[in-house]
Amino acid sequence: MRIAAPSVLVLLIFIEGGMKPFLGFEWSDYLSTSSKIGLVFILVAQAWAIFCLAGSVACFMFTVLCNSLHCVVQHLCYIIRSGHPLQRIRLTLTIQIYKQLDILVAQINLCLRKVCLPTLLASIVVSNILGMSLTILLGSRLLDHVGNLFFPLATAFSTMFTIVFGTFAGYVHKSSTKCVIKFQRTCVVNCGNRNKEVENLMRHLVTKSCTPMKIRFGNNFMAISTPLVILGLCAKYTVRLLLMQEPNNGFTASTDRYQ
């Protein structure tokens, strides 16, 4: 994909000169040979740079982030569905696993909370709104040019990413909450032995220190219903954009009638 996509874009530029997906594209027959060679080099370099960067970001987001969240969800589900009672040693080991998962989530929040996740979610929302609006406005003209297919594809991929990532991130919070409740109940049952009051007290304090995990972006966090909220926001502003276009279309139609 990283080899084919830049080559296809460069070919599209030369086939259709009016399309300008890159900055600085001003192809003209009056350019000198050295200028044409330099322009071709710039186009190829931009294509490779853009797609290598996009591939790296996509690899990071889908491979690293989603797989990390999937790993956390799997371990939390194992802790929740454990049928055997969490006795002393087993409870201690389970809490250690939970703490390790909590460290992984904390590292994700430390790296992505301030800039990456808010920017990613904002770009997903904008691409979803604009893609859906332009897809509906184009209507029957959608297949007039192959470049118009970018809009429904952007809408589909942004919706899919919102559902997948939001569900994983929200399920981390939901499952970790169930784990914390299970730890607290098990600690109450297992800490009734008065012969080991110090050990029971330490286990109780460690259990009490376990808090639900949250994938944060800015000052908010991803809950299980966050994907529905994001998609509802996209639908709301898509409808607003479409309603803003109706008066303009009516004005254009009336002007054409009088002409």
Q: Which of the 8 DSSP states describes residue 211? A: -
CA-closest candidate to residue 179, choices 69, 89, 102, 64 = 102
User: Which pLDDT score is estimated for 85?
Assistant: 52
User: Which pLDDT score is estimated for 232?
Assistant: 92
Question: By 3-state DSSP, what share of the chain in percent is helix, strand and coil, each rounded to 5?
Answer: 80, 0, 20
Q: How far separated are the first and last CA of the chain, in Å rounded?
A: 50
Contact 145, 117 (CB under 8 A): no
Higher pLDDT, 12 or 171: 171
Distance CA 114, CA 94 (A): 31
Contacts of 114 (CB under 8 A, 6+ apart): 218
pTM above 0.75, yes or no: no
Contact 195, 141 (CB under 8 A): no
Higher pLDDT, 14 or 158: 158
User: Which pLDDT score is estimated for 209?
Assistant: 80
The mean of the pLDDT values for the chain is 75
Lowest mean pLDDT among 70-79, 86-95, 121-130: 86-95
Distance CA 17, CA 11 (A): 10
pLDDT over threshold 70, residue 4: no
Contacts of 117 (CB under 8 A, 6+ apart): 215, 216, 217, 218
Confidence label for 16 from pLDDT (cuts 50, 70 and 90): low
